[in-house]
Structure 1
Amino acid sequence: MLNDRLKGKNVVITGASSGIGAKMAFLCAKSGANVIILARSWDKLQNLKQEIETDHQVTVRAYKLDVSNIDEIQKVFAEIIADVHHVDVLVNNAGFGIFDTVEEAKLDDAKAMFETNVIGLIGCTKMVLPNMKARRQGHIINVASIAGKIATPKSSVYSASKHAVLGFTNALRMEVADEGIFVTSVNPGPIETNFFNIADQSGSYVKNVQKFILSSDQVAAAVVKRMLSRTREINLPRWMNLGDVFFTLFPSTFERLGKKAIFKK
């Protein structure tokens, strides 16, 4: 799957060392983009860089970044701008979740989720916006979650962080609507990645929703296909978005009738 719009464009992907971030990096390189990968795991980044360069005969730039650290964001993105001069596409993909009831949830975990999923995402966005505005072009893609639309038990803090991402994304889209900048939210259901190694250490949730789990290849392909296009949202799987519509229109009925389905964790 190729996206000819990406040829020669600079694409920055956070949380790129594994999962859909890594898969997007491969697809962007295959489409002729200049790929810039960021993550905390330096060894994994270096291995990914080598694999992509070997497969596609391109030069990949890798930077170590913990998006929960604002100082690091400012330093690393200043280096990126100095190296490549501008960013055409920013994919805010870094994020994590922990599934706990409100009573069991640790405040340190809640703080860490918001620092990574929300504050870090905002910080990365702020670093590329001025240049995109000056050039009157660019695309910001924020990986949220269906959990940002439909909250479920034991995902209270994670859902809250993704609600925040969606609110930020929707407001940003309106702010830059006349600046030539596209803003897209990605709202997938459960994905077969390392995410659940942290979020669901018991393994019960993954077992219960196994038949609904998306492949990372499927999600990555859907995102890369729409890069540099005016796409408001990418909702996967599509049928799950119907649940969001029903939840929005009939929340009480959804919670009553869907009780068995949403108590999967």
Structure 2
Amino acid sequence: METNVRNKSIIITGASSGIGERIAWHIAENGGTPIMIARSIDKLENLKEKLQRSFDITAHVYQADITDRDAFSNVIQQILLEHKNIHGLINNAGAGVFDYVEDIKMEDIERMFQLNVYALIQGTQLLLPHFSANRRKCHIVNIASQAGKIATPKSAVYAATKHAVLGFTNALRMEVAGKGIYVTAVNLGPVKTNFFKTADPSGSYQKSVSRYMLDPDKTARKVVKNLFRKKREINLPHWMEAGSKFYQLFPGVMEVLLRKQFNRK
């Protein structure tokens, strides 16, 4: 796989499992330096050891709950002190809870916004001065969701957070135009990760869409392949992106025709 990550230092949030772990793996495999942030230091240390042993590269790990504003700010400042150049930020950490609006708990709403939106914005804001001063190409990648384009029942709040991520990403791209900073949104359908242990504890939704679920390793390869390239969006699976475009044109028709599919959660 041809990439542009060799000798690049790239921060990945939520790097201890799922897509974040696989992104770190492919960055290391291609000669980059993954700088991994997550709550579970044991998982991070284990991954760091595997990456360094497998690819003879240097990896770095930092423990932080990025929903804690002060803790996240402190760890970013620590990273900036310990590393001369940071070239990329992959805002991967996220969570979801699928439930009807009348039933969802306020604490779940607050956590989704804190993790999916506020932490993503905070991390970006903290690193922008460094990226702007770094006279090389830098890249910010925000892991969003196809839910940010097509909201469905029981995902109202989750979809709202991903709508916010898309809006933020599109505006940020225009703000940093001409500063050598690429900004990419990654809009994914369901991915085969531990995300659904929280989002769908019953397992019913995951079971109903199992044949459509994306492979986290293939998804991570796609993200890493497009790092430090001018790419507005990465949309997977392709058929779902086609559906989202049709939805923008004919939302009422789609909601009638796909009512059964939209209510699978």
TM-score (structure 2 length as normaliser): 0.98
Structure 1 counterpart SS, 2:139: strand
Query: What is residue 227 of structure 2 aligned with on the other side?
Result: 227
Measured after TM superposition, the shift of residue 157 of structure 1 is 0.5
Counterpart-to-counterpart distance in 1, 2:143 and 2:109? 19
- Structure-1 residue corresponding to 2:98: 99
CA–CA distance in structure 2, aligned partners of residues 2 and 119 of structure 1: 33
Instruction: Measure, in 2, the Cα distance between the counterparts of 1:104 and 1:218.
Output: 35
Shift of residue 2 of structure 1? 4.2
Separation (CA, whole Å) in 2 of partners of 1:244 and 1:44: 36
Match of 1:248 in 2: 248
For residue 22 of structure 1, what is the aligned residue in structure 2? 21
Aligned to 1:89: 88
Task: Give the CA deviation at 1:57.
Answer: 1.3
2:34 maps to 35
User: Are residue 109 (structure 1) and residue 108 (structure 2) matched?
Assistant: yes
Structure 1 158/168 Cα, relative in aligned 2: closer, same or farther at 3 Å?
same
Q: Which amino acid aligns with 2:147?
A: A
Paired with 1:92 and 1:145, the residues of 2 have a C-alpha distance of 13
Corresponding residue number in structure 2 for 1:50: 49
Aligned length: 264
Which range moved further: 215-224 or 127-136?
Answer: 127-136
The answer for unaligned runs of 5 or more in structure 2 is none
Q: What residue number does 1:262 align with?
A: 262
* CA–CA separation in structure 2 for the residues paired with 1:65 and 1:232: 29
Q: Does 1:214 align with 2:214?
A: yes
Aligned-pair Cα RMSD in Å: 0.8
Deviation for aligned residue 1:76: 0.4
- The structure 1 segments of at least 4 consecutive aligned residues displaced by more than 4 Å after TM superposition are none
**Amino acid paired to 1:87:** I
Structure 2 Cα separation of the partners of residues 193 and 16 of structure 1: 13
Are 1:189 and 2:189 matched, yes or no? yes
Give CA deviations for 1:121-161 in whole Å, capped at 9, x if unaligned: 00110111001111243100000000111001000110000
Give percent identity, aligned residues only.
49
Structure 2 distance, partners of 1:26, 1:168, is: 27
Q: Look up the equivalent residue of 2:24 and give its one-letter code.
A: A
Is it true that 1:75 corresponds to 2:77 in the alignment?
Answer: no
TM-superposition CA deviations, 1:168-223 (whole Å, max 9, x none): 00000000011111000000100000000110000000111011000101110110
